[in-house]
Structure 1
Amino acid sequence: MRPLAYNPSFALNAICPYFTMFPLEYPLRVLKRHRAQKPVVMDPFCGRGTTLFAARVLGLESWGVDTSPVAVAIAKAKLSNSSAEDALCLAHVLLLTTKPVLVPKGPFFESAYHHKTLEAICALREALLEIGDSDESVMLRAAILGCLHGPLLKGGEASYFSNQMPRTYAPKPDYSVEFWKKRNLVAPEVDVLKVLERKLKLIAASRKLAESSYTHVIHGDSTACKSLPATRQHSVVVTSPPYYGMKTYVQDQWLRNWFLGGPETVDYGAGLQIEHTGQDVFASSLGKVWANMANTKAPDLHMYVRFGVIPSAKVNAKELMHKSLEASGVNFRVVSARNALSAHSGKRQAEQMRAASGACDEYDFHIVKQ
């Protein structure tokens, strides 16, 4: 069966590729089981918003939380009510009315983008930081993030703004510059509006979705109650926590983070995320999230969790998941734990600038609060 990632009706879900994303089929399959009850859906590690999009397709209310501003920006677009035309119109206006003040210099940016393309990107960056969120700006911002870096095309129209790069993550500056120099790769002059128009036209082909609210996506830490909605009525949680041992989410998204107002250099800090300093610490930190999920006014709670570890961690994923549930202090029962195959199954991974690595073993857990 052809994956939903290639279905034009669901093009909005592909507005921006994101590393370690799970396929749309998973939350759709899970949520269809509960659709008749009209549950409120929660994803405490919402990433690029695949669960939220699946809930919207099925006409369900959803909430998402993530520590990454990049993830939040992408997820908000999945709940935006903007048309593709309105988002593109906003881009036209912003480019006509904004002259960028800060255009980064240095080997990376000078090699990653043609100078005219970079000026247009910076104009959109500064304007979007100034005007804040609306349905149109949320949609446009995510479309720009999706076009910010990616592979060069050998023929036809450009789909990305950059020199040769992966779609899902941004390699470090020194590595990138060396890669381009060795292969004599030069950043093309790209018409930013044409690239965005091509991206947004794909989204315009999507099926008509129910009205939703991008304000239901929260930039916060799900281990802390203050990051979650004040009144929680969710009865279904569908999520995938960070892989145990995976500590580079912040660094891998450094260039998109720059566009959202972050530094033009790589931040090597851990950022706000589940602690990875040991299995017990990880389980305790993740247990706080499960405890917060259990704190809901809904009479029943079903949690569907896709959980994995990176191969180098040499940790039993199922045991670690059970340990985190025990650490929550909540009386949970594991209904099922099935192998979800590997993280590479059914997906194309961006490999233009990264050597192949082993896939992560993942398990799908169905957990209920007793």
Structure 2
Amino acid sequence: MRPLAYNPSFALNAICPYFTMFPLEYPLKVLRKHSAAKPVVVDPFCGRGTTLFAARMLGLESWGIDTSPVAVAIAKAKLSNSSAEDALCLAQLLILAIEPLHVPQSEFFKAAYHSKTLRDICALREGLLGLEDSDEAVMLRAAVLGCLHGPLLVSGAASYFSNQMPRTFAPKPDYAIRFWTKRNLVPPEVDVLQALERKLKLIAASKALPKADYTNVVRGDSTVPTSLPSGRKHSVVVTSPPYYGMKTYVQDQWLRNWFLGGPATVDYSAGMQLEHTGQDSFASSLGKVWANMANTQADDLHMYIRFGVIPSANVDAKSLMYKSFELSGVEFDVKSARNASSAHSGKRQAQQMRAGSSACDEYDFHVVRH
């Protein structure tokens, strides 16, 4: 069966590729089991919002939390009610009205973007940073993030603004400059509005979705109880925590983070994320998330968790997850723990600028609170 990722009816879910993401089929399959009861759904590691999009497809209320501003920006678009036309009109207005005050002049940005293209990107950046969130702004922001970097096309109109890059993560500046220099690659002059129009047209032609509320996505740390909405009544959790040993989420999205107001350089600090200093600390911090999820006014709680460990970590993923349940202090019943098969999805993109690596072994857990 053809994966839903290639189904044009669900183009909004593909508005911005992400280096780590689970397929739409997973949350859809889970949520269909519960849809008759109309549960409130929560994803405490919402990433690019796939769980939230699946919930919206089924007409379910959902909440998403993530520490990454990039993740939050993309996930919000999955709950935006903006038309593609309105988002594009906003882009046209900002590019025409704003002469950007801050255009990066580093060697990386000069090699990554044509000067005219970078000027328009910076106009959109400064314009969106000065606006309150609206459905149109939320949709446009995610569309720009999705076009910000990606592969050069051999022929046809450009879909991405940049010189050759993966579309799921941004390489470090020094590496990228060496890569481009060695291959004599120069940044193309891309019409920003045309590239955005192509992306937004795909969304305009996609399947109609129930109305939703993009404000149901918040930036926060799910180990902290106050990051979650008060008086919560969620009964279904569908999530995929950061894989053990994967510590570069912040750095891999540094260029998109710049567009959202971050620095024009790579931030090598860890930021808000689970503790990766050892298995015990990781399991303990993950256990805090499960404890917060269990703190709901709903009578029942079902948690569906996809989890893995990067191969170089040499850690048993199932044992680590069981330990996190134990350290949560909540009496959970693990109904099933099945191998989800190795995930090679997205490796084709990663191989454009760096050597491939073995995929993680992933497991799907179904856990019920007593």
TM superposition score normalised by structure 2: 0.99
CA contact (8 A) 1:69 1:260 kept: yes
SS at match of 2:171: coil
User: What amino acid is the match of 1:21?
Assistant: M
Unaligned runs of 5+ in 2: none
Distance in 2 (CA, whole Å) between partners of 1:349 and 1:183 is 18
Distance in 1 (CA, whole Å) between partners of 2:308 and 2:132 is 36
Residue matched to 1:102: 102
Return closer, same or farther for 1:223/1:268 CA change in 2, 3 Å cut-off.
same
SS at match of 1:87: helix
Tell me the CA shift for residue 32 of structure 1. 0.3
SS at match of 1:341: coil
Tell me the CA shift for residue 350 of structure 1. 3.2
Give per-residue Cα distances to partners, 1:279-335, cap 9 Å, x unaligned: 000000000000000000000000000010000000000000000000000000000
Residue matched to 2:10: 10
Return closer, same or farther for 1:167/1:345 CA change in 2, 3 Å cut-off.
closer
Residue matched to 2:65: 65
Unaligned runs of 5+ in 1: none
Residue matched to 1:81: 81
Residue matched to 1:369: 369
Tell me the CA shift for residue 346 of structure 1. 8.5
Residue matched to 1:31: 31
Distance in 1 (CA, whole Å) between partners of 2:333 and 2:56 is 28
Tell me the CA shift for residue 347 of structure 1. 7.0
Residue matched to 1:258: 258
Residue matched to 1:241: 241
Distance in 2 (CA, whole Å) between partners of 1:346 and 1:356 is 10
Residue matched to 2:341: 341
Residue matched to 1:112: 112
Matches within 5 A, 1:324-363: 324-344=324-344, 348-363=348-363
Aligned length: 370
Matches within 5 A, 1:202-351: 202-344=202-344, 348-351=348-351
Structure 1 segments of 4+ aligned residues over 2 angstroms from their partners: 345-350
Percent of aligned positions that are identical: 78
Distance in 2 (CA, whole Å) between partners of 1:98 and 1:142 is 19
Distance in 2 (CA, whole Å) between partners of 1:230 and 1:352 is 44
Matched, 1:180 2:148: no
TM superposition score normalised by structure 1: 0.99
SS at match of 2:269: coil
Give per-residue Cα distances to partners, 1:329-348, cap 9 Å, x unaligned: 00000000000001215974
Residue matched to 1:168: 168
Give per-residue Cα distances to partners, 1:128-180, cap 9 Å, x unaligned: 00012100000000000000000000100000000000000000000000100
**Cα RMSD for the two superposed structures:** 0.8
